[in-house]
Amino acid sequence: MYSILLSLAMLVPLLTGILMGLLKNAHSRNILFVEALAATLVFALAAAWVGSGLSAVVDMGLFAFRFGADTVGHLFAILFALLFLCAGVFSLEYNLHDRKQGRFNACFLLTLFAVMGLSYSQNLFTFYFCYECMTLLSMPLVFHEGTDESMKAALTYLGYSLFGAALVLFGFFYTGRFCETTNFVEGGSFNAEGMAHLPLALAAIFCLLLGFACKAGMVPLHQWLPVAHPVAPAPASAILSACITKAGVLGILRTVYYVVGAEALRGTWVQTAMTALALTTVFVGSMLAYKERLLKRRLAWSTVSQVSYVLYGLFQLSPTGFVGGIQQAVFHAVSKTALFLCAGAIIHQTHRTMVHELTGLGKRMPLVFGCFTFASLSLVGIPPFAGFVSKWGLATGGLQVYGSAGALGAAVLLVSAILTAGYLFPITIHGCTEDGDFSRPLEPGWKMLLPLLLLALALLVLGIFTAPLSHLAQQIAVISQEVVPS
């Protein structure tokens, strides 16, 4: 039963995605599209309910495709399916008059297939395969508009992704030698040969992590994010920002805790370098977001910054940081989807893209701006919204692990939080207070509003009832590090 549910959660988006190209009737196509997204979510939830463990192995000789789910896999799969459903429903209205809606739906579903595959991968080979699939299948979402600018952005995205994948492949190759197995096992399997060739092994692991960090938008491989996000249609930007970057995070999580093992990396230069890069990214991303005036690009820079919070947590290699990182990954995914969808609603209703053009719009589309404010509050980390607990965990974890250097980390997080407030709140404030033309309401239809309201509600619930998620994250931390949390 469990295996069937897990396969369905991957096969449904794959098959319906292929089918999208064949259906000519827009109405029936859209119904099937939403049904497929909802079904994927239901199957993912049901699979998590029924059980976990290895479900399918396809032997390819030298390698094997291994699918299965553990707590991490279930968590990410449900998160991805949920966000795809929200963005998918939103896209129905957003893309209503688009001739190429069929192509968009097809690529959207196929990308969902790739990220579900990533969540359910149980070894590096399968993960690498799904990762490459995700790059190639999500690319048409970036150049969907068909302009020269969007094609250039898509090629930039492709170039960075391929470069990242090449780094991953190099690291993958060596971890195959320096680990007992490249299957995902809790605590990793770094072996004696790795210890014997420690400098080479660490360099290879660094390449592997840097390659995944490219998708997560970490400096110095972050450049594709601010280029690709603004040109894609808003639902696609939301997915790129919330899910594709999390695929990079998932890759790092799997590598550090399930392939190499936290023990092998603790105290090495790899940990130091990755932590330093993550903190740099947190700061640089926020600064550039603060300076940016195009709304969607501002949000893209914000993603650069916020995803590196997660990486900062993961590279602390301690349970506290890990729990903070997982929470931040979930919160950021939800709130960034909400923010991009709000931006999409604004663009769709008013065709305004610059931040300074939004003055007074809040009174004409109160629900959209309400959701935007909810998501902003959460992203900044103001209690009782969701972002607070995660950032608290990240800062305290850093202090525990790094001592005085952790104080620097906490300071960076704080400065970045202030900058986040500085680049998000003025949008709400100007939108709501300054004078404007209030004559005509501009609120979008229910297909756009419903996902927004749902996401805002989720943020509030997650912020108030933090216990379930943090309990779940604790569980993963214990399993993956075999360290009893304090």
Partner 1 sequence: MSPVLILAAILLPLLGGAFMLAVPLHKRTVRESWVMSVTLCTSALVLLLTAFAPAAGLTLGSIYPGLTFAFRVDGLSRVFLGIVGVLWPIAILYSFEYMSHEHGESRFFAFFTMTYGVVVGIATAGNTFSLYFCYELLTLCTLPLVMHEMDGKARHAGRTYILYSMTGAALAFAAMVFLYHYGTLDFRFGGGLDAALTQGHEDLLRGVFLLGFFGFGVKAAVWPAHVWLPTASVAPTPVSALLHAVAVVNAGVFAILRITYYNFGTGLLRGSFAQWVMMGFCCFTIVFGSAMSWRMQHLKRRLAYSTVSNLSYILLGASVMSEAGLSAALLHMSAHSVFKIILFFCAGAVLCQSGREYVFELPGLGRRMPLTFAAFTVASLGLIGIPPFAGFFSKWAIAEAAVSLDHPLGIVGCAALIVSAFLTGLYQVMVIVPAFFPTKGQSSEVRANEAYTEAGWRMKTAFVLLILLSLAVSFAVTPLAGALSACVG
CB of 5 or CB of 110, closer to partner 1: 110
- Options 63, 186, 366, 475; binder of partner 1; rule CB under 8 A: 63
CB of 148 or CB of 437, closer to partner 1: 148
Quick one: which of 243, 230, 82 has its CA closest to 142? 230
Per-residue x/- track, 161-190, partner 1 (CB under 8 A): -xx-xxx-xx--xx--x-------------
Alpha helices in 21-59 (DSSP H): 26-50
151 counts as binding partner 1 under rule CB under 8 A:
yes
- Options 22, 97, 99, 146; binder of partner 1; rule CB under 8 A: 146
Binding segment toward partner 1, per CB under 8 A, in 55-63, 115-123, 230-238, 291-299: 55-63
198 counts as binding partner 1 under rule CB under 8 A:
no
Binding segment toward partner 1, per CB under 8 A, in 17-25, 141-149, 236-244, 262-270: 141-149
139 counts as binding partner 1 under rule CB under 8 A:
yes
CB of 86 or CB of 209, closer to partner 1: 209
DSSP notation for 407-469:
HHHHHHHHHHHHHHHHHHHHHHHHHHHS----SS-----HHHHHHHHHHHHHHHHHHH--HHH
Contact 329, 246 (CB under 8 A): yes
The minimum distance between CB 223 and partner 1, in angstroms, equals: 16
- Cα end-to-end span (Å), the chain: 37
The minimum distance between CB 43 and partner 1, in angstroms, equals: 25
Binding-residue total with partner 1 (CB under 8 A):
32
Tokens of 210: 């840097």
DSSP notation for 241-284:
IIIIHHHHHHHHHIIIIIII-HHHHTTSHHHHHHHHHHHHHHHH
Element containing residue 68 per DSSP (H, E): strand 64-69
CB of 62 or CB of 484, closer to partner 1: 62
Quick one: which of 342, 309, 307, 327 has its CA closest to 448? 342
The minimum distance between CB 144 and partner 1, in angstroms, equals: 9
CB of 176 or CB of 187, closer to partner 1: 176
Binding segment toward partner 1, per CB under 8 A, in 46-54, 150-158, 255-263, 287-295: 150-158
CB of 162 or CB of 382, closer to partner 1: 162
DSSP bridge partners of 467: none
CB of 132 or CB of 186, closer to partner 1: 132
Quick one: which of 457, 348, 354 has its CA closest to 90? 348
Give the C-alpha separation, 209 to 262, whole Å: 13
CB of 174 or CB of 331, closer to partner 1: 174
> How far out from the chain centre does Cα 476 lie?
18
Hunting for tokens 């007074």 — which residue is that?
360
CB of 199 or CB of 403, closer to partner 1: 199
Give the C-alpha separation, 320 to 126, whole Å: 29
Per-residue x/- track, 94-133, partner 1 (CB under 8 A): -------------------------------x--xx--x-
22 counts as binding partner 1 under rule CB under 8 A:
no
Q: How far is CA 82 from CA 79, 93, 96, 165, 461, in A?
A: 5, 18, 22, 27, 15
Give the C-alpha separation, 345 to 368, whole Å: 7
- Options 143, 258, 369, 423; binder of partner 1; rule CB under 8 A: 143
* Contacts (Cβ under 8 Å, ≥6 apart) of 204: 170, 171, 173, 174, 175, 178
Contact 116, 6 (CB under 8 A): no
372 counts as binding partner 1 under rule CB under 8 A:
no
Give residues in contact with partner 1 (CB under 8 A).
Answer: 60-63, 125, 128-129, 132, 136, 139-140, 143, 146-148, 150-151, 154-155, 158-159, 162-163, 165-167, 169-170, 173-174, 177, 200
